[in-house]
Amino acid sequence: MSDPFGPDPWITLSRLTPARIGLGRAGAGLPTREVLAFSLAHARARDAVHAPFDAEAVGAAIQALGFETLEVASAAPDRATYLRRPDLGRALSPESLEALRARPKAPIDLAIVVADGLSSAAVHAQAAPLLGALKPLIDKAGWRTGPVVLAHQARVALGDAIGEALGVRAVVVLIGERPGLSSPDSLGAYLTFAPRVGRSDAERNCLSNIRPEGLVFEEAAFKLAWLAGEALRLGLTGVGLKDESDLARLPSSGALSLPGA
């Protein structure tokens, strides 16, 4: 065969990208199999947005790691309101705010919030395994975390309200990201030093695409612990804190070493 591509030249192209190329056509339209494959991917993404957050199951898995948990809700009463009113998703419900303020004050270095965000599927699949990878690093650093806060109908900035009510030094929000067609269950992690209501996104550091097919748990946990260590050491997050966690690795062994740990 002189043709380097074999019988279907598109197969070679398709290996170069996860994009939906080489689909073929039925006249001007897509072949049936591709229409249905697309519908399935969209259905999964839709379900990820609208599936209720199973805080009980996620909480049990997190408790099994040795964390306490507590539940809060944002001021958005339901999914339809949540999607239309991001401002309500950034504020605590009056009951949750009261409950957090009423807790006995205990010093917390790094509060952890697990938030449904735009993909409960992401939280169900990735939150506990990520915390499992993070726990040894937290223990090694000696950070006090307080209870892991499970938040319903939450946006990233709800972590500011939670952190402010608990009086914490820093907060990390693990939140379901807006689902993509090929990634319905990506978790994001947002770190904010000295959280308080009104912080801007430029004052946070972010890791995204945390899932087995993207940023894997061990890697995400290492980066997160590195960023948290630097945030607590420097007293800031955001544009002033660059992720240089790659430099903290020992190239020979691949072992992970944290600043000051």
Partner 1 sequence: MTYAQTTGTTRWVFPDLKTLMAKASPARSGDRLAGVAAGSAEEMVAARMRLADVPLRTFLDEPLIPYEEDDVTRLILDTHKAAVFAPIASLTVGDFRNFLLSEAATPETLTALAPGITPEMAAAVSKIMRNQDLILVARKCRVVTRFRNTIGLPGTMATRLQPNHPTDDPGGVIASTLDGLLYGAGDATIGINPASDSLAALGELVRLLDGLISRFSIPTQSCVLTHVTTSIELIERGAPVDLVFQSIAGTQAANASFGVTLPLLAEGLDAARGLGRGTVGDNVMYFETGQGAALSAGAHHGLDQQTVEARAYAVARAYSPLLVNTVVGFIGPEYLYDGKEIIRAGLEDHFCGKLLGAPMGCDVCYTNHAEADQDDMDTLLTLLATAGVTFVMGIPGADDIMLNYQSTSFHDALYVREVLGLKRAPEFEVWLERMRIAGQDGRLLPRRAGHPLLAAAVG
180 binds partner 1 (CB under 8 A): yes
Q: Which residues contact 56 (CB under 8 A, 6 or more apart)?
A: none
d(CA 86, CA 260): 38
d(CA 103, CA 37): 49
Least separation, in Å, of the C-beta of 112 and partner 1?
24
CA distances from 48 to 53, 125, 161, 173, 185 (A): 10, 11, 25, 19, 7
* Residue 127, amino acid: A
Which backbone phi and psi does 210 adopt, to 5 degrees? -80, 110
SS3 per-residue string spanning 51-69: CCCCHHHHHHHHHCCCCCE
The window from 11-19, 58-66, 97-105, 223-231 that contacts partner 1 (CB under 8 A) reads 11-19
x/- string (CB under 8 A) for partner 1, residues 77-96?
A: ------xxxxx---------
Show the tokens assigned to 138: 């937290």
The window from 8-16, 97-105, 237-245, 253-261 that contacts partner 1 (CB under 8 A) reads 8-16
Show the tokens assigned to 170: 């820093």
101 binds partner 1 (CB under 8 A): no
Show the tokens assigned to 48: 């990820």
Least separation, in Å, of the C-beta of 39 and partner 1?
8
The DSSP 8-state label assigned to residue 203 in this structure reads G
Taking CB under 8 A as the criterion, the residue among 33, 40, 46, 139 binding partner 1 is: 46
249 binds partner 1 (CB under 8 A): no
The window from 3-11, 100-108, 164-172, 218-226 that contacts partner 1 (CB under 8 A) reads 3-11
In the complex with partner 1, which residue's Cβ is closer, 132 or 180?
Answer: 180
215 binds partner 1 (CB under 8 A): no
Residues that bind partner 1 (CB under 8 A): 3-5, 7-10, 12-14, 16-23, 25, 27-30, 34, 38-39, 41-42, 45-46, 48-49, 83-87, 118, 178-184
